[in-house]
Structure 1
Amino acid sequence: MPDEKSFWTTLPGIITGFAGIVTAITGLIVALNGAGLFSKPAAANKVSAETKPGALNEADSLISKPIDPQKPVEKLNPVFSMTQIKIEDHEYKIISSSLEAITPESSSLKIKIKYKNNSNYSPATFWNEGFRLAIDGALTAPSGDLSELVERHAELVGTVIFEVPNNTSSLVFHILDVGKDVAIPIKLASD
């Protein structure tokens, strides 16, 4: 009977063993980096800039400008004229909404919606493309990232986000589904 060589002493065995070691070391490095072992302290990440005497850099000019105190933005509560909408096999329920200031000029309108797909046949998309907001008559698309697939006879909760100028006088929320456009006026009530 001829002498059989161990797999680990052949060229393919050596390459396989080496690849396993490299993979293990790489995984260890990734895990340690994720745990924060290799991150630099915040002070080490700062970049210093030299300026000529008498010259101001952009950061100095921003610091030297007086900062105007922001006027408190009036907190408004969006009130929808209807909160439950059914379009063929699709049901929408507006669960909650909020209008939060982003800047002195604009706010973020967040609308939390429960979507139910009652279809017997196929999944349905629950995404930004199904919603628009008419701001003073001009339709705008959402700025959030809602993009879900809802299986048949299932439901899902998601949030649609719009950026709204603070000087807006009228808002109308539009649900676009199965070739239909359901318009829901929104009243902004003071808290």
Structure 2
Amino acid sequence: MADEKPTSWWATLPGLLTAAAAVITAVTGLLLGLGQLGLFDAGRPAASTASASSTTAGAAQPGSTVRPTGVPSATGDGAGWTVALPAERKFRAGDVEYEILGAGVRPDVSGQVALTVALRCTNHGRYDINFWDSTFRLNADGISHSPDSGLNELVAGDSSKSGDVRFILPADTREALLRIKFVQGESTAQLAISPP
């Protein structure tokens, strides 16, 4: 009995099961990470950010505010203000798609104007994504404005959600460029603002 050598933990059944579980966990984590980066989407068509960037306000109906029914909107009473939207209103990159549903402007108490854009976020992927203010910026008169609407939603895989993004702008703003940021790049939409 004194001559018995202790066996390595690799040679025991619990040791082998522990090692197998560690390998499976590591491979699963690696595959999930690569899937999140879009490595397995090689067969899908390329993102449509190039065509979405070429939208112009000239193709929209000037002087019209589009505010679809049934869409939550915090645009309030615009008292005659209108927003002309571009003809192309859907922007997609990878599994994420944003659609401009409408827009409205109203005077703000601070002597500025509040531009609210109603958007729909569609998640064509399998995993939840954020639908939040951080995705959007508005360029007006050479200044990039961040929204102050507090939008922060999760959109589950293969589903859509609508929400409002609000920007506070100088009252003399007449043209603005909505920027939608994707992991793969950025799309833009020109908005024309007309006072009463």
- Taking structure 1 as the reference length, what is the TM-score of the superposition? 0.57
Matched, 1:76 2:81: yes
Contact 1:91 1:117 in 2 (8 A): yes
The residue identity in structure 1 corresponding to 2:101 is I
Matched, 1:114 2:120: yes
Q: Which residue of 2 aligns with 1:10?
A: none
Of 156, 159, 176, 2:181 maps to 176
Structure 1 alignment gaps of length 5 or more: 1-72
Q: Which residue of 1 aligns with 2:161?
A: 156
Q: Which residue of 2 aligns with 1:142?
A: 147
Q: Which residue of 2 aligns with 1:59?
A: none
Q: Which residue of 2 aligns with 1:167?
A: 172
Runs of 4+ in 1 over 6 A off after TM superposition: none
Cα root mean square deviation, aligned: 1.9
CA displacement 1:123-144 (0-9 Å, x = unmatched): 1100000000001121111011
1:9-24 to 2 correspondences below 5 Å: none
Q: Which residue of 2 aligns with 1:95?
A: 101
Distance in 2, Cα, partners of 1:110 & 1:124:
22
Distance in 2, Cα, partners of 1:91 & 1:153:
11
The residue identity in structure 2 corresponding to 1:132 is R
- Return the offset for 1:190: 5.4
Distance in 2, Cα, partners of 1:172 & 1:88:
22
Structure 2 alignment gaps of length 5 or more: 1-77
Distance in 1, Cα, partners of 2:159 & 2:123:
6
CA displacement 1:50-104 (0-9 Å, x = unmatched): xxxxxxxxxxxxxxxxxxxxxxx97321122231111221111111111011137
- Return the offset for 1:182: 0.8
Distance 1:138 1:179, change over 3 A: farther
Distance in 1, Cα, partners of 2:102 & 2:173:
20
Q: Which residue of 2 aligns with 1:86?
A: 92
Matched, 1:105 2:106: no
| Structure whose alpha-carbon radius of gyration is higher | 1
CA displacement 1:103-156 (0-9 Å, x = unmatched): 372111111111100013x11100000000001121111011100111110100
Distance in 2, Cα, partners of 1:80 & 1:181:
18
Query: Higher RCO, 1 or 2 (CA under 8 Å, sep at least 6)?
Result: 2
Contact 1:137 1:170 in 2 (8 A): no
Q: Which residue of 2 aligns with 1:53?
A: none
